Amino acid sequence: MSANRFNAYQNHGVGIGLRIPHYEHIFAHKPAVDWFEIISENYMIDGGRPLRMLDRIMERYKVVQHGVSMYFGSAQAPDREHLRRLKSLLQRTKTPWLSDHLCWGSIDGTYSHDLLPLPYTWEAVEKTAARIREVQDFVEIPVAVENVSSYAEFVDSEMTEWEFLNEVVERADCGILLDVNNIYVSSVNHDFQPIDYVNAIPAERVAQIHIAGHTRYEKYILDTHDHPVIDPVWQLYARTIERCGPTPTLLEWDDRIPSFDEVWAEARKAEKFLVPAPSLADENSLAGAAR
Amino acid sequence: MNLEELQRTMAAAVMQPLTPEEQMQPRDTTGRWHGRPMDEVVGQFIAPNSRLTAFERLEIYNRQYWFRLQTAFTEDFPALRAVVGPDRFESLMNAYLEAHPSRSFTLRNLGSKLSDWLSRNPQFAGRKSALALDVVRVEWACIEAFDNAEFPPLRVEEIAALGPNPQLALQPYIQLLALDYPADDLVLDRHRRQRRESSEAGARPEAAEEEDCTPLRLRKRPTWLAIHRADDSLYYKRLSQPEYRTLAALRAGQPLADALANAFATSRQGGTAQIRQVQQWFATWAQLGWLVHPQTQI
């Protein structure tokens, strides 16, 4: 289950996000990290130190690209300059799969630089799936879409978030980057049971999993990637692995970044869940309860 | 409302400037909704939950949008902040970001229009507008020099092979500046304290400990500068005026003889001294790998 066509039949194990404050430690100590995820946009440039550092990382480690500006859910056509630079970077990194978010973020050429939520409507399903197919055809590698944390819901929504996700990935025939922390954050913000979400996703399409920490405020949770993973998120992760089998897993830590060792130790907590075990999930749940 | 119109509406609400208390405006200030209360506007497309109104839910995005842009802008222009002071900097930043929201997939380009905008709106920099403008030009040049393209440099023998009056191109990462102040001193001082990071999450980091914002005192002095990089590090190289004019002319596509004639047009140096000077320049430029073939294109 873990190695599937949506992650190019790779089983990368546990990785962490490549972040500048850790470069020095990585080059000096060469830690045995399975793989690094890079934010594509940080390297979609023409030259200089970022690309040189990336090349050094790639001499020793596997790298997978994760984007933040594709905006699969934007109603308008994709930015051609973005696609051109993205493809150039893909050729450099030879990433086995490419991920970005199930969201929108730009309109009329202006960028929010945020992962804005979509209304869960049939129109959004059709347009988002079409855009994912277009990008997938252009980049010529598997694409996985990530569920985002959200803080608002739309009056026009016609289905649940997981029903929306399932409809989109089915029509686009793409993979899922399942962020179990985002499921937890949104479940609190929107009053649903996160386990219902995990049980509903089509397990056979999960290419990768994200885990992360967040910040809880009085009335909502913000996806800040600046804390360790909390136990309820680990429980969702365990259930996801139970359904999907061992799947490439990545810890995101983006703000108030602690030492490399601390981040890596947090990520390695995932390893105990990744040991293959007899599947507890039946065929119906593997196929996705929402369909 | 179809998807495109919904996104256009939501973007307008999310990008509307915050109140001075960093909250969402209680009423439309853009004119898009004719000054209507924002809770009415937002309630048309955002649903409330048991703890938050539709207004409060969208306010989270409104605040995140501005915090994210302000954080990126502040990281890019620390010396400008030191020159104009924190309060004036905040006004300047918000006015600029309102006039020029991001038009690029990357926040790297957020300040690309700041120099032009500030030259047309000097009141935002107060009495120090000329120095502030120079500082902005240096700080933006640093961003360009940091990650612009680099091509294989021409060797001296390759330059000779191009003929007696060749066209030469400069490495795209080289940034040439003619300044009224030696603003590079100030920028260098500030940039030493700054560290670049990237974030996907976008939450506002805790306010950095407030530094001493007093900038170096600078006297007005014409300064010609090349900001470039070597071994992936940025360097500031002071130039003489003729050297600057030569490089600027080469970048503009002038043949070498025309560039040199232009550079020395007002020079009192004798011909021999000029030749020796040009030889020194070429030795330095070749050593730094600054010259590339004129056909080289990104």
Domain interval for residue B272 = 151-182+221-298
Cβ distance B47 to A222 less than 8 Å, yes or no, reads no
Q: What is the pLDDT along chain A (291 residues), one digit of tens a residue?
A: 478 999 999 889 999 999 999 999 999 999 999 999 999 999 999 999 999 999 999 999 999 999 999 999 999 999 999 999 999 999 999 999 999 999 999 999 999 999 999 999 999 999 999 999 999 999 999 999 999 999 999 999 999 999 999 999 999 999 999 999 999 999 999 999 999 999 999 999 999 999 999 999 999 999 999 999 999 999 999 999 999 999 999 999 999 999 999 999 999 999 999 976 554 444 444 444 333
Cβ distance A48 to B229 less than 8 Å, yes or no, reads yes
Enumerate the residues of chain A whose CB falls inside 8 A of the CB of residue B196: 20
Is the minimum CB–CB distance between B46 and chain A shorter than 8 Å?
yes
Render pLDDT for B165-175 as a digit per residue (tens, 0 to 9): 899 999 999 99
Is B98 inside a domain boundary?
no
Is the minimum CB–CB distance between A155 and chain B shorter than 8 Å?
yes
Determine the residue of chain B that is closest to A71 in CA distance: B105
Cβ distance A154 to B47 less than 8 Å, yes or no, reads yes
Beta-strand pair A153-154/B46-47: antiparallel
Render pLDDT for A37-78 as a digit per residue (tens, 0 to 9): 999 999 999 999 999 999 999 999 999 999 999 999 999 999
Is B91 inside a domain boundary?
no
CATH fold group of domain A5-287: TIM Barrel (3.20.20)
Residues 6+ apart with CB under 8 A from A272: none
Task: Say what the pLDDT of residue A287 is.
Answer: 43
Task: Say what the pLDDT of residue B168 is.
Answer: 94
Which parts of B77-173 fold into alpha helices (H)? 78-84, 86-99, 114-120, 129-147, 156-160
CA distance B112 to B108: 9
Residue of A79, A189, A222 with shortest CB distance to B203: A222
Task: Say what the pLDDT of residue B211 is.
Answer: 53
Cβ distance B10 to A116 less than 8 Å, yes or no, reads yes
Task: Say what the pLDDT of residue B198 is.
Answer: 38
Is B81 inside a domain boundary?
no
Is the minimum CB–CB distance between A54 and chain B shorter than 8 Å?
no
Is the minimum CB–CB distance between A158 and chain B shorter than 8 Å?
no
Give the CA distances from residue A264 to residues A228, A272, B147, in Å, rounded to whole numbers and listed in that order: 11, 14, 29
Question: How many alpha carbons lie under 13 Å from residue B169 in its C-beta half-sphere?
Answer: 15
Angle between helices B129-147 and B183-191 (to 10 degrees): 60
The interface predicted TM-score (ipTM) is 0.93
Cβ distance B203 to A189 less than 8 Å, yes or no, reads no
pTM of this structure: 0.92
**Number of domains making up chain B:** 1
pLDDT at B206 over 80: no
List all residues of chain B from 149 to 178 with a beta carbon under 8 Å from chain A. 149-150, 172-173
Enumerate the residues of chain A whose CB falls inside 8 A of the CB of residue B2: 75, 123
First-to-last alpha carbon distance for chain A, in angstroms, is: 19
Token pair, residue B286, equals 């070749």
CA distance B159 to A196: 69
List all residues of chain B from 95 to 134 with a beta carbon under 8 Å from chain A. 101-108
The domain segmentation of chain A, as residue ranges, is 5-287
| Residue A114 Cα, gap to closest chain B Cα (Å) | 7
Task: Say what the pLDDT of residue A276 is.
Answer: 61
* Average pLDDT score over residue span B222-250: 96
Cβ distance B203 to A224 less than 8 Å, yes or no, reads yes
Residue A180: burial class (beta carbons within 10 Å; 0-12, 13-18, 19+):
buried
CA distance A72 to A150: 16
Render pLDDT for B85-143 as a digit per residue (tens, 0 to 9): 999 999 999 999 999 999 999 999 999 999 999 999 999 999 999 999 999 999 999 99
pLDDT band at B265 (very low <50, low <70, confident <90, very high): confident
Task: Say what the pLDDT of residue B191 is.
Answer: 75
Cβ distance B149 to A74 less than 8 Å, yes or no, reads no
Which residue type does B293 have?
A: H
Is the minimum CB–CB distance between B297 and chain A shorter than 8 Å?
no
Enumerate the residues of chain A whose CB falls inside 8 A of the CB of residue B233: 49
pLDDT band at B197 (very low <50, low <70, confident <90, very high): very low
Token pair, residue B167, equals 């066209």
Determine the residue of chain A that is closest to B101 in CA distance: A110
Is B68 inside a domain boundary?
no
List all residues of chain A from 198 to 217 with a beta carbon under 8 Å from chain B. 215
Determine the residue of chain B that is closest to A119 in CA distance: B3
List all residues of chain B from 216 to 245 with a beta carbon under 8 Å from chain A. 229, 232-233
Site from A19, A40, A46, A70 to mutate, B interface, most B CB atoms within 10 angstroms = A46
Token pair, residue B225, equals 């500068």
Q: Which residues sit opposite A211 in a β-bridge?
A: A251
Mean pLDDT of chain B: 91
Selected residue with higher pLDDT from A126 and B217? A126
Give the CA distances from residue B239 to residues B148, B184, B224, B285, in Å, rounded to whole numbers and listed in that order: 21, 12, 5, 12
Contacts 24+ apart (CB under 8 A), A86-92: A86/A40, A86/A44, A86/A139, A87/A138, A87/A139, A88/A44, A89/A40, A89/A43, A89/A44, A89/A65, A90/A65, A90/A139, A90/A141, A92/A43, A92/A51, A92/A54, A92/A55
CA distance B171 to B229: 10
* Average pLDDT score over residue span B202-219: 56
CA distance A41 to A66: 9
Render pLDDT for B138-172 as a digit per residue (tens, 0 to 9): 999 999 999 999 999 998 888 888 888 899 999 99
Which residue type does B199 have?
A: S
CB A190 within 8 A of CB A232: no
Q: Which helix (H) or strand (E) holds A99?
A: strand A98-101
Task: Say what the pLDDT of residue B155 is.
Answer: 87
